[in-house]
Structure 1
């Protein structure tokens, strides 16, 4: 998964106005206590970050 696909999925899940804010404020234990944005900035793959976000948001399996 590329960063652009990650952000497209975030926009679909949370809306374009809220996705970036959520990604920079919501700490996810599965990402080592980092936000999605911090994890991406630290070099964690977008696919790994998306799976953690997917789990936290309890999104449907088809969006995994």
Structure 2
């Protein structure tokens, strides 16, 4: 997963506004008690950060894999919680 795919996955799952809050404020114990933003800055792979976010926020398994990659014919509208 590229960083741009991570960003798209976050925006798709949480919406652009709340996604920014999640990435910047939610402390992920599985990533050394860092936020997603801190983990990415420290060099943790975006896919690992994405999966940690999914686990911490109870994103269903079926929405975790392939996230952030465009699907032909599908809109980029955020999912409703």
Structure 1-normalised TM-score?
A: 0.93
What corresponds to 1:28 in structure 2? 28
Aligned to 2:9: 9
Larger Rg computed on CA atoms: 2
Say which structure is richer in helix: 1
Return the offset for 1:51.
0.7
Q: Which runs of 5+ in 2 are unaligned?
A: 65-81
The answer for unaligned runs of 5 or more in structure 1 is none
4+ residue segments displaced more than 2 Å? none
Could you state the TM-score of these two structures normalised by the residue count of structure 2?
A: 0.75
